[in-house]
Structure 1
Amino acid sequence: MSMFSTGILVLTSPLHVLPLRIAPVLTSAAQVVERTLYVHLHPGLNLGTGGQVRPAYIPPVVDLCTLISCLYSNAADICAHLDVRVLLSNVRAQSAALSGNNGPFPTPQTLSHSPEVVLTDFPIQDSGQSSLVTQCLQKYAGHCYICKPCLSSVLLYPRLKEVEEDDDRRGRAAQLKPLETFSDVVVGGTFDRLHGAHKTLLNISCLMANRRFVIGVCDQELLKNKVLKELIEPYDQRVQKLQDFLNDVKPSLEYEIVPLSDPFGPSVSDPELQCIVVSEETRKGGEAVNRKRVENRLAELVLYEIQLLKDAHHADIEEEKISSSSLRTRLLGTLLKAPSVRKSCSLKLYDRNEPKSTSRLQQLLPLFWSQAVKRIVQRDGVKEEDALRRLKSQWLNAKLIEHANVVLCTLWEPDVTQRQVLKTWTLLQQRIQKRLEEIRPSP
Structure 2
Amino acid sequence: MAVFRSGILVLTSSLHLIPSRLAPVLAAAAKIVQKILYVHLHPGLGLAGNCVQPTPAYVPANREVSQILTHLYAKSLNVCGCLDVRVILSNVKNLCSTQQPFSSVQTLSEPPEVVLTDYRITDSNQSSLVTQCLEKYILACYTCRPNLQSIFLPSGGDDAENSCPDANDPGLSEGFPPYGDVVLGGTFDRLHSAHKILLSVSCLLARKRLLIGVADGELLSSKDLKELIEPYQDRVDKVRTFLLDVNPGIQYELCSLRDPYGPAITDPDLECIVVSDETRKGGEAVNRKRLANALQELAIHQISLVKDVHHTSDEEEKISSSTLRKRLLGSLLTPPKDNPRLPATPYVIGLTGYMGSGKSSVVQYLQKMGAVAINADAMGHQSYRQGTAAHHKIVQEFGQEILLQDGTINRKALGKIVFEDQEKLKRLTSIVWPETAALVKQMISQAGSEGKSVCVVDAALLLEAGWKDMVHEVWVVIVPKDEALRRIVQRDNVSEEDARKRLANQWSNAQRVQHANVVLSTQWEAEFTQKQIRKAWQLLQNRRSSC
**How does the TM-score come out when normalised to structure 1?**
0.89
Within a 5 Å distance, the mapping from 1:24-423 to structure 2 comes to: 24-49=24-49, 50-94=51-95, 100=100, 103-104=101-102, 106-160=103-157, 162-163=159-160, 170-171=167-168, 173-342=170-339, 345=342, 347-350=344-347, 365-366=374-375, 370=379, 374=383, 381=397, 385=411, 386=415, 391=461, 393-423=505-535
Deviations 1:388-430 (Å, cap 9, x if unpaired)? 9994742110100010100000011111111111100100010
Q: Residues of 1 paired with 2:289 and 2:303: CA distance? A: 22
DSSP-derived class of the 2:374 partner: helix
DSSP-derived class of the 1:210 partner: strand
Q: Residues of 1 paired with 2:109 and 2:535: CA distance? A: 34
More off after superposition, 118-127 vs 398-407: 118-127
Q: Residues of 2 paired with 1:236 and 1:350: CA distance? A: 36
What is the aligned partner in structure 2 of residue 6 from structure 1?
A: 6
Compared CA separation, residues 344 and 290, structure 1 to 2 (3 A): farther
Q: Residues of 2 paired with 1:11 and 1:328: CA distance? A: 33
Would the aligned equivalents of 2:21 and 2:162 in 1 still touch at CA under 8 Å?
no
Q: Residues of 1 paired with 2:240 and 2:176: CA distance? A: 25
Q: Residues of 1 paired with 2:165 and 2:373: CA distance? A: 71
Q: Residues of 2 paired with 1:250 and 1:166: CA distance? A: 29
Compared CA separation, residues 259 and 399, structure 1 to 2 (3 A): same
Quote the offset at 1:127 in angstroms.
Answer: 2.6
Code of the residue aligned with 1:182 in structure 2: it is Y
Q: Residues of 1 paired with 2:47 and 2:144: CA distance? A: 19
DSSP-derived class of the 1:309 partner: coil
Deviations 1:203-246 (Å, cap 9, x if unpaired)? 00011101000000111111111111110011011001111111
What is the aligned partner in structure 2 of residue 355 from structure 1?
A: none
Compared CA separation, residues 149 and 275, structure 1 to 2 (3 A): same
Would the aligned equivalents of 1:72 and 1:200 in 2 still touch at CA under 8 Å?
yes
Code of the residue aligned with 2:530 in structure 1: it is Q
Q: Residues of 2 paired with 1:219 and 1:15: CA distance? A: 38
What is the aligned partner in structure 1 of residue 446 from structure 2?
A: none
Q: Residues of 2 paired with 1:186 and 1:95: CA distance? A: 19
More off after superposition, 210-219 vs 363-372: 363-372
**How does the TM-score come out when normalised to structure 2?**
0.72
Q: Residues of 1 paired with 2:233 and 2:380: CA distance? A: 40
Q: Number of aligned pairs?
A: 425
What is the aligned partner in structure 2 of residue 439 from structure 1?
A: none
Deviations 1:352-404 (Å, cap 9, x if unpaired)? xxxxxx89x96572368626984987699568734599947421101000101
What is the aligned-residue identity percentage? 48
Query: Which of 1 and 2 has greater Rg?
Result: 2
